[in-house]
Amino acid sequence: MNKVTLKICMGTTCFVMGASDLQELTDIIPEKYGDKVEVVASTCLDFCSSNTESQAPYVMVDYDVISKATVEKVIDAIDRKLKNGQK
């Protein structure tokens, strides 16, 4: 079984626009999903330069980009991935 990989952008723009809250995910995810999901704190994923800061913070769940990410949005996306049996 492949893992879901979660990349949280810790670039300046995402951090300032609210990624600080997303750091909570590094605690929540292992607790909730065990080793099914891997969390990677990433340096700038560079979505802000193409899409402007208004949609930051960005998170990547595998290859899907979540804009204006919140803890709830991210968990929802992971749940959908796992449920759809894609993994």
Partner 1 sequence: MDKNNQATHLKKEILIKTIKAFLSDDFGENTRLIPFEMRPKGSEVPYRCCIYKEREILRNRIIATLGFPIEGCDERILLSNYAKWAQERQKPDEHTLTVLESACKGCVPNRIFVTDLCQGCVARPCIENCKFGAISIVNGKSQIDSSKCKNCTKCIQVCPYHAIVKIVVPCENACPVDAISKDEQGHARIDFDKCITCGKCVSACPFGAIHEKSQIIDILTKIKEQKKVVALIAPSIAGQLPCNIYQLKTALLKCGFYDVLEVAQGADITATNEAKEFAQRMNEGQKFMTTSCCAGYNNLVDKHLNEIAPFRSETKTPMYYIAQICKEKYPDAVSVFISPCVAKKSEALNNPNVDYVMNYEELGALFVAHRIELSELEETQFDVDSSREGRNFGITGGVAKSVVAADKGNAEINAHLVNGINKESIRALKGFAKKGECEFGNLIEVMCCEGGCVGGNDCLNTVRTATKAITDFTKDSKPLE
Residues forming the site for partner 1 (CB under 8 A) = 10-13, 15-18, 20-21, 23-24, 43-44, 48-49, 53-54, 68, 70
Q: Which is nearer to partner 1, 44 or 82 (CB)?
A: 44
Measured in degrees and rounded to the nearest 5, phi and psi for residue 44 equal: -45, 125
Q: Minimum distance from CB of 59 to partner 1 (Å)? A: 13
Q: Which is nearer to partner 1, 48 or 60 (CB)?
A: 48
Question: Is the distance from CB of 87 to CB of 4 less than 8 angstroms?
Answer: yes
Q: What ranges in 1-87 are assigned the alpha helix state H?
A: 12-14, 20-22, 25-33, 47-51, 71-83
Q: Which is nearer to partner 1, 17 or 78 (CB)?
A: 17
Q: Minimum distance from CB of 16 to partner 1 (Å)? A: 3
Q: CA 5 → CA 41, 54, 66, distances in Å?
A: 11, 25, 13
